[in-house]
Amino acid sequence: MIEGDAGQLLPFLKWAGGKRWLVAARPELFAFDEERFIEPFLGSGAVYFYVRPSRAVLSDVNRELISTYSAIKRNWPSVQSALEDHAKSHSAKHYYKTRSAVDLKSSVLKAARFIYLNRTCWNGLYRVNRQGQFNVPIGTKTNVLLSTDDFQDASKLLKGAALHCRDFEETVDESSGGDFLFVDPPYTVKHNLNGFIKYNEKLFSWEDQIRLKKSLVRADRRGVKILMTNADHASIRELYSGKFRLDSAERNSVLAGVNRGRGKVTELIIRNW
């Protein structure tokens, strides 16, 4: 069930492909009253924080991400205090020292590090090298603490969520009739591996796209209400045509490094209702 004032709690992370724009542009897609909200590609949780479900299952393969949500859920005051320390020390030197600090023992310090790097790195991008180490350079943003921060409210909401670091298929397969399943995978498409798509291919292959589709077909048979966003590409349309309803939504492209690479793009909306 949805509770409280939907839309009042904003995500505390910036995430490539985040869906703040979608909940603002198409709020009717999220006017539901299912028993439980399930999201297997959590990211910044823009949709989750918008709908504020009383019960949720949230997962992602990014262990640091899920650990950060867990720390906010359990001990938000300590995370906020550690983040305030980062704010006082913020500089290029501090950023790169923090980025290289990979042996932190405390879950609180790890969470504060994750949020700090997210807010001060280039474009809020999460990227790791072959050793699994975060390697995004410092960005131009200097605000470590935001006026929209409400870690206490986020913690309260997360008390009703089960958090898992695991493959998407396990989370999708947990869904059942009476659940609302929101799915926002990395936008990997067939025969179109360039730019950010090429990076995503290393994380989420075309074979994963096929595996995801099969898991959603199974969820549909169980009576799960499904809403998915994906790349508006012929290969994705072909993959889902016939079984699901296809629509598109327009957004601004903001990831390009130069202005001429920015403009309007469409994303595919896939649902079974």
Kindly report, residue by residue over 54-76, the tens digit of the pLDDT. Answer: 999 999 999 999 999 999 999 99
> Degrees (nearest 5) of the Cα angle 225, 229, 233?
130
Please report which confidence band the pLDDT of residue 1 belongs to, taking 50, 70 and 90 as the band edges: low
Q: Does residue 42 contact residue 70 with C-beta atoms inside 8 Å?
A: no
How far is Cα 181 from Cα 212, in angstroms, rounded to an integer?
13
Q: What is the mean pLDDT of residues 113-137?
A: 93
Kindly report, residue by residue over 232-265, the tens digit of the pLDDT. Answer: 999 999 999 999 999 999 988 755 454 554 578 8
pLDDT at residue 196, as a whole number: 47
Q: Is the CATH number of domain 20-61+166-271 3.40.50.150? A: yes
Domain boundaries, the chain: 20-61+166-271
Please report which confidence band the pLDDT of residue 7 belongs to, taking 50, 70 and 90 as the band edges: very low
How far is Cα 80 from Cα 112, in angstroms, rounded to an integer?
7
Residue type, 54: S
Closest among 32, 58, 54 to 224, alpha carbons compared: 32
The predicted model scores a pTM of 0.91
Residue 57's beta-bridge partner residues?
A: 38, 162
Q: What is the mean pLDDT of residues 196-218?
A: 81
pLDDT at residue 251, as a whole number: 87
